[in-house]
Amino acid sequence: MSTKAAPAIRTFSEGVQAMVRAALSHMQLPEGVPESILAGHSVLQVRFPVKLDNGRYQVFTGWRAVHSDHRLPVKGGIRFAPWVDQDEVEALAALMTYKCAIVDVPYGGSKGGLTIDPKQHSAGELERITRRFAVELVERGYIGPGINVPAPDLGTGEREMAWIADVYRGLHPTDIDHLACVTGKPVTSGGIRGRVEATGRGIQYVLREFFRHPEDLKKAGLPAGLAGKRIVVQGLGNVGFHAAKFLSEEDDLRIVGLIERDGVVTSAKGIDVEKCRAWMTREGGVKGFPGGTYSPNGARALEMACDILIPAARENQITHANAGRINARLVLEAANGPVSFEGDRILLKRGITVLPDCYVNAGGVVVSYFEWIKNLSHIRFGRMDRRLDEMRGEKIVRALEAVGGRPVPEEVRRELVSGADELALVRSGLDDTMRHAYQEIREVLRTHKTIRDYRTAAYYVAVRKIAHSKMEMGL
């Protein structure tokens, strides 16, 4: 199969397409299949007025894009940010298609966005704006448990998802699966434990799996063992915060740099992530944080010497302009599109390993899938089998005590007789999913000698699955 050379890359969506085309160049697919995979399905744009607290009306513009509906429902977050535009929404919808395929979540890809700065609005205004946006999407068939299922993204969270679920229920009062119309809800409103931190937890599992393979560490130029590795994290939002917290507290990595909008805090000894987040929440930025040295030049801090760099903010943070100065051995793309296509090529030539966003930050959609299943089944995980597990564990303890002739240590007893609750099951499922996906990507690198990087291998995995699905259904 031959693919046409991609034009000069100018936009986010063009960058995503260029990365997919790189994978397609290693595949032999029937004529027309690559085009059907690359092409977006549909984009809805809406404009609507909302009355503000001061009595004036403001018109808002929002989008919901569907990249591929080869699997239903389609899935993807809703982003509230002042820079949101249609190209960004379409690019993120495409990423969701490939992301779901890589981690074997049976969804197509979608994304939503509203051009708004949430910080400039009261809670009451945000509720009215979110509910009106939800009405526009629901009435046009862009939200529904079996059609299109949003989730939180930048600028949105559990609160906004609860509002959207309530709007859907009001418009579809007889739908008993109404809670499944959106994921990322509060646990008390049909959500699932572990969803808030899912993306950050997934990043931790990705890094752990990477460090289980000595050959991969050798290629990246990293010594074995997570403990003590120096990490720079850009973005202390939900994803960056949880990734940094888990890696530093549970795996003993050193957070030597935390980059935020107003600058960067650095410390060779390591930064207390919890304290820095609390300071940022209280003061509005990292400036003045006493647990490190502050500099206003956050962008330059991406070039700090470290073992692992985790960009967890926005797209296009590492480009042709600074990729030649990146001083990390491993880059984990926690954000969507933080490394541009050109920047990625430069890092590849320099021998810097990049684990791509389409895999690394998939933890959120994996746990969203678990939440969706929970809502459709109308039962929480662990409800039917937790006590059974505990009884079996108690029998094992008694057997061990009978054979050994002495009591089992209390710590061992607690572990054996503890049945898995919802959070434990969610973490187990997420860990298994991220590990399996890495192994699939790694197998492509092992068997296809012309593929040299994880990004191309990840997209190869995704495109192969999507192509098979489309061809089996007759496109």
Note whether 422 and 380 are within 8 A (CB).
Answer: yes
C-alpha 338/C-alpha 105 separation (Å) is 23
Handedness of CA 123, 124, 127, 132 (dihedral sign): negative
Q: Residue 454's closest CA among 440, 434, 435?
A: 440
Question: In angstroms, what CA-CA distances link 202 with 149, 245, 275, 332?
Answer: 21, 13, 22, 11
Residue among 122, 140, 110 nearest 48 (CA):
140
Determine the Cα–Cα distance for residues 292 and 441; give it in Å rounded to an integer: 38
Phi-psi region at 263: left, alpha or beta (left = phi > 0; alpha = psi -120 to 50) = left
Find the Cα–Cα–Cα–Cα dihedral 284, 288, 294, 297, rounded to 10°: 40
Tokens of 418: 């503890």
Q: How far is it, in rounded angstroms, from Cα 470 to Cα 35?
A: 12
> CB pairs under 8 A, 24+ apart, for 319-322?
319/343, 320/346
In the set 51, 75, 99, 111, the catalytic residue is 111
Rounded to whole angstroms, the Cα distance separating 92 from 99 reads 10
CA angle centred on 93, ends 78 and 299, rounded to 5°: 75
Cβ contact 67:109 at 8 Å: yes
For 7, other C-beta atoms within 10 Å of its C-beta total 9
Query: Annotated catalytic, 111?
Result: yes
CA distance 135 to 27: 42
Backbone angles phi and psi of 68, in degrees to 5: -150, 135
Catalytic residue annotation = 111
